[in-house]
Structure 1
Amino acid sequence: MSFMTEVSSLTGRLLVATPALADPNFDRAVVLLLDHDEEGSLGVVLNRPTPVDVADILEGWGDLAGAPGVVFQGGPVSLDSALGVAVIPGEEGSAPSSPRSRPRPVRGEPIGWRRVHGAIGLVDLDTPPELLAPALGSLRIFAGYAGWGPGQLEDELAEGAWYVVESEPGDVSSPSPERLWRAVLRRQRSELAMVATYPDDASLN
């Protein structure tokens, strides 16, 4: 427990690759951290779409996946496994307009969805899609994930490899994932907004 008093959990935050990060797996990557504790960290890269349609590999889930409806490469670990991340709208602070017209409130979490942070959660892809369909606001399917052992991410942060920023529910389902790196940096109220203008070819800077 003493470790966690020194390293507060970053679960639900975004790791945004700095221009100095040399690993090609994470060049201009935006990683949503799904788990971060003393045993290590796990996340998915939000801006690596593949040419593979979700419908081609997961029957029934294709219609629920937001545009572009393709599988994303979540990271270099376990590329043969699929992981679903979804946003449940109205989970925080939504007030119905009238008692008569309001939908039946969801007690607890929808079946097949486990909250990670705020309105963002993990989807059990063994759940029948039709059970989750009414509750889902957006869904992304990832092949593989990014993983760090105990203390490994902290070392990379100390080396300046990542910026840590707050996530927004829309980041998971960005319709323009190729622009996400710049978009996330641009919305920061700090010098990070200037990094968004960094050229793709560092030699041009």
Structure 2
Amino acid sequence: MVAWALSAVLFAAQADADGTFGPSSVKRGVLLVASPTLGDPNFRESVVLIVEHGEEGTLGVILNRPTEVLLSEVLPDIAALKGTRYQLFAGGPVQPAQLLMLFRLKEPQAYARSVFDGVYVGGTPEILERVIRQPKPTETFKAFAGSAGWAPGQLAYEMHQGAWAVLAPDAAGIFDRKPSTLWRDCLDRLQAPRAIGY
């Protein structure tokens, strides 16, 4: 409970800070970490990767909501997925029928937009098949059904309320850490010196 209380103080401090630690630190590639006090069931104990941020609003995917659905069930026409156990993640409540792919790639690819260093959103079925058929330690992917979205000004308001904190991007956290511990891992990072902001 002490750690959660400290986290709540950090969230409040971040929301109140001017510039570096506040809403102005939100940009493509950062992680939003839900406050321990955030009660919205869509976002409780969530970690969101921001994939777009601008005048028209903010778009992200929840990283720590695995489903029981296999990607091979959703994309039966992709032969490379047959017999695999890749899970589909629930990316958020916006357009839950829309599939969004996140890749960690060594080099930029066509139709894949950079989110931050080595991490891309989008891509093509051909990229997916290559990553599955020719696995490399530096390349992997995750698939999300739906996304998280905020209208202009909405996320800034929520941050001023202390609902979210911002962490620098972390490819290992996105692709390698267990979804079940990711949120608590991020809370630990928030308590580390100079972890806040980006």
TM-score range, shorter chain: 0.7 to 0.9
Structure 2 unpaired stretches of 5+: 1-22
Q: Which amino acid is the alignment partner of residue 40 of structure 1?
A: G
Q: Deviations over 1:172-193 (max 9, x none)?
A: 2135101100112213414989
Match of 2:115 in 1: 116
User: Given the superposition, is the C-alpha separation of residues 117 and 191 from structure 1 closer, same or farther in structure 2, using an over 3 Å criterion?
Assistant: closer
Stretches of structure 1 lacking an aligned partner (at least 5 in a row):
1-5, 90-105, 194-205
2-side partners of 1:61 and 1:144: how far apart? 23
2:61 is the alignment partner of 1:62 = no
Give the drift of 1:127: 4.0
Match of 1:115, SS state, is: strand
SS in structure 2 opposite 1:26?
coil
CA separation in 1, counterparts of 2:113 and 2:80?
17
- Contact kept, 8 Å, 2:25 with 2:166, in 1: the verdict is no
- Cα distance in structure 2, aligned partners of 1:14 and 1:61: 31
Instruction: Establish whether residue 159 from structure 1 lines up as the match of residue 158 from structure 2.
Output: no
Structure 2: how far apart are the matches of 1:150 and 1:76? 17
Which residue, out of 51, 71, 74, partners 2:88? 71
Alignment partner of 1:17 out of 27, 34, 51 = 34
Q: Counterpart in 1 of 2:10?
A: none
Deviates more, 1:170-179 or 1:143-152: 170-179
What percent identity do the matched residue pairs reach?
A: 35
CA–CA separation in structure 2 for the residues paired with 1:22 and 1:192: 24
TM-score normalised over the length of structure 1? 0.72
Which residue identity lines up with residue 110 of structure 2 in the other structure? I
**Greater displacement, 78-87 / 126-135:** 126-135
**Number of residue pairs the alignment of both structures matches:** 167
Tell me: CA distance 1:25–1:173, structure 2 relative to 1, closer, same or farther (3 Å). same
Q: How does 1:24-173 map to 2 (within 5 A)?
A: 24-58=41-75, 59-60=78-79, 62=81, 69-89=86-106, 109-127=108-126, 129-131=128-130, 137-173=139-175
Shifted more, 133-142 versus 80-89: the winner is 133-142
Q: What's the TM-score, normalizing by structure 2?
A: 0.74
Cα displacement string for residues 30-74 of structure 1 (whole angstroms, at most 9, x for unaligned residues): 0000011121000000000000011111224638x8xx7200000
- Determine the C-alpha separation between the residues in 1 that align with 2:161 and 2:177: 32
Q: Which residue of 2 aligns with 1:185?
A: 187
User: What secondary structure, in the 3-state scheme, does the structure 2 residue paired with 1:75 have?
Assistant: coil
Q: Distance in 2 between matches of 1:177 and 1:153?
A: 23
